Amino acid sequence: MRIVIVVGAADDDMLGLSKAMRGAFEPQSTGTAYLAPVDCIRGFDTKFFTHAPPTAANEELDAALHTLIVAMLDRDVPDATLTWLDAAAALVQSSQGRHKLIAFVADESAQRAIAPRAPRLARVQSNLIGRFGERALRPAALGLIVISESRRLLADATPDTREKRSKLFISHAKADGLPLALAIRSHLATIPHLQSFYDDTNLMLSSDWVADLESNVATSTVLILWTDAFETRPDCRKEALWASRYGCPTLVIDVRNGLVQRGSSLGLGSLPAVRLPDGNLIRAIHLALWAGLRGAVLARQVTELDRSGVLNGTSIRTLQRAPSLEALASIGDELRASEASGSEVLVFHPDPPLDEVSRQAMESAAASHGPIVRLVTIDEILRLHEGIR
């Protein structure tokens, strides 16, 4: 997966916005005032051009399995850049969903100036920069949209992904997490194509709210608001355990009070976490979306390895977070129910690889539920495949 940013603008503000937006998804960036630094995702990279890329549009697109082109334009976009983007738009539109192009334009006059010069690009829905909030927030807003659309592009190409759009499940205790949950939900509503799950709204007409709650956890990136009351609430505990069982991307927002805290009986302390002493909700949403993208990249890579025959037809499962005993027990129960408990199953999980002691302990625990489990990362499988060849 690759993001290609192409800037066609003479305006310094548009160029500055484009550069600042990169902080949302470039690991070498130190972040911005609102965005957090991110870690690397294997198989995901970015390219940035302030002019027409030197390679032909078809070569640039096909250099990755999936490419998302982000065009940043004003009315003075150079002819060469516009010609390249028009060719790229035509290729994207005939790619059957493999690639995508999104366009951000400075204003309506830029829209009108570009349309007659680039008829295929004009078919791409352009987004006015001014609709994305105050100037200081725009780099973060655009960055979140690009991450969300990257995940959606991957999910559309991954058959087993039940939820195509990015969805954040806000797990919280109403006793002390409600104001923060409502604030996050309100901000999520400003991001196009991004869904949030909030029980009071989404379960209003449910015939089986427990089953619906579990189903929505299983298809979401889970945002746990770790307040003082969270682990004392049975429903909160269920949601955290479901997230572990289904291997959902999970981010903890630690908002507990006090200088001394007890350990977590749910293992929340071992999950990626963020604190918000400055009230910056965007930081938490950013890291949650990044976790979701990491999981989507892994799921797409596993699908492609299986399709290409590298896995030799072995049963596979993909966890989009570090493996847990709950997840392995769930896989074992599933295989036993399908009378496949004696077969080997490869369980993929994100980097980093487990240390050998932890790996052996978890694989042995999984064996007590039936299947022969091998816990692996993409790198480990690729190294093994290279060794076999």
Handedness of CA 114, 115, 117, 121 (dihedral sign): positive
Residue 389: its pLDDT value, please?
39
Residue 388: its pLDDT value, please?
44
Rounded to 5 degrees, what are φ and ψ at 55?
Answer: -90, 155
For the chain, domains (ranges, CATH) are 2-156 (3.40.50), 167-296 (3.40.50.11530), 309-388 (3.30.70)
For 99, 145, 270, 318, the CA distances from 102, given in Å and listed in that order, are: 10, 10, 37, 29
What is the maximum alpha-carbon separation in the chain? 66
Give me the helices (H) in 54-137, please. 57-62, 79-93, 108-114
For 52, 221, 262, 365, 368, the CA distances from 8, given in Å and listed in that order, are: 8, 34, 53, 56, 59
DSSP label at residue 242: H
Mention every residue, 6+ apart, whose C-beta is less than 8 A from residue 184. Answer: 168, 170, 196, 223, 281, 284, 285
Q: For residue 262, what pLDDT band results from cuts at 50, 70 and 90?
A: confident
35, amino acid identity: L
- The rounded percent of the chain whose pLDDT value lies above 90 is 67
For 62, 65, 92, 117, 294, the CA distances from 155, given in Å and listed in that order, are: 18, 13, 17, 33, 12
DSSP labels, 147-206: HHHHHHHHHHT-TT-S--S-EEEEE--TTTSHHHHHHHHHHHTTSTT-EEE-HHHHTTT-
Structure tokens of 181? 């949950």
For the ranges 3-7, 138-142, 365-369, the one whose mean pLDDT is highest: 3-7
> What pLDDT digit, counting tens, does each position of 301-327 carry?
999 999 988 888 788 999 999 999 899
pLDDT of 371 higher than 80? no
Mention every residue, 6+ apart, whose C-beta is less than 8 A from residue 336. Answer: 369, 370, 371
Global pTM reads 0.92
For 60, 77, 134, 283, the CA distances from 7, given in Å and listed in that order, are: 15, 8, 21, 25
Residues present in the chain in total = 389
Residue 116: its pLDDT value, please?
94
Residue 10: its pLDDT value, please?
86
> What pLDDT digit, counting tens, does each position of 44-76 carry?
999 999 999 999 999 999 999 999 999 999 999
> What pLDDT digit, counting tens, does each position of 133-155 carry?
888 999 999 999 999 999 999 99
Helix (H, G, I), strand (E, B) or coil at 348: strand
| Distance (Å, whole) CA 133 – CA 387 | 52
pLDDT of 95 higher than 60? yes
| Distance (Å, whole) CA 95 – CA 316 | 28
| Distance (Å, whole) CA 318 – CA 199 | 27
Q: Which of 164, 354, 324 is nearest to 247 (CA)?
A: 324
Q: For residue 342, what pLDDT band results from cuts at 50, 70 and 90?
A: low
Residue 337: its pLDDT value, please?
72
Mention every residue, 6+ apart, whose C-beta is less than 8 A from residue 20. Answer: 32, 139
The answer to whether 275 and 356 are in contact (CB under 8 A) is no
Strand partners, 73: 8, 105
Residue 335: its pLDDT value, please?
77
Least confident of 94-103, 197-206, 254-263: 197-206
Q: Which of 345, 335, 278, 280 is nearest to 306 (CA)?
A: 345
